[in-house]
Amino acid sequence: MRFIRFLPYLLIIQLIFLGACSKEKDPISGKVKRYEPNVNKKMESSEGVFFNKKNSGSAVYDFATSNVLWRASLDTLSFMPLTNVSYSGGIITTDWYGNKSGKEQIKINVRFLSDKLEISSVVVTGFKKTCTNMNECTIKPTENSINQPIKDKIILKARELSIKDKAKK
pLDDT along the chain (169 residues), means of 10: 70 71 59 55 48 48 70 92 90 90 88 89 94 86 92 94 88
**Confidence (pLDDT) at 82:** 93
CATH of the domain at 144: 3.30.530
Query: Which element (helix H / strand E) includes 70?
Result: helix 68-76
> By C-alpha distance, which of 112, 124, 111 is closest to 153?
124
**Confidence (pLDDT) at 154:** 94
**Confidence (pLDDT) at 84:** 92
Q: Based on C-alpha coordinates, what's the Rg of the chain?
A: 27
Residue pair 99/111 in contact by the 8 Å Cβ criterion: no
Separate counts of helices (H) and strands (E) for the chain? 3, 6
Give a yes or no: residue 29 inside a domain: no
Give a yes or no: residue 55 inside a domain: no
Give a yes or no: residue 15 inside a domain: no
> By C-alpha distance, which of 67, 61, 73 is closest to 165?
67
Residue pair 107/94 in contact by the 8 Å Cβ criterion: yes
**Confidence (pLDDT) at 5:** 73
Query: Which element (helix H / strand E) includes 131?
Result: strand 122-131
Residue pair 64/74 in contact by the 8 Å Cβ criterion: no
CA torsion sign for 141, 146, 151, 154 is: negative
**Confidence (pLDDT) at 131:** 87
DSSP three-state, residue 121: helix
Give a yes or no: residue 139 inside a domain: yes
**Confidence (pLDDT) at 18:** 65
Domain count across the chain: 1
Structural domain of 121: 68-168
Give a yes or no: residue 47 inside a domain: no
**Confidence (pLDDT) at 69:** 92
- Rounded-to-integer distance, Cα 104 and Cα 20, Å: 61
Instruction: Report the Cα 83 to chain-centroid distance in Å.
Output: 10
**Confidence (pLDDT) at 42:** 46
DSSP character at residue 39: T
Q: Does the reported pTM lie above 0.85? A: no
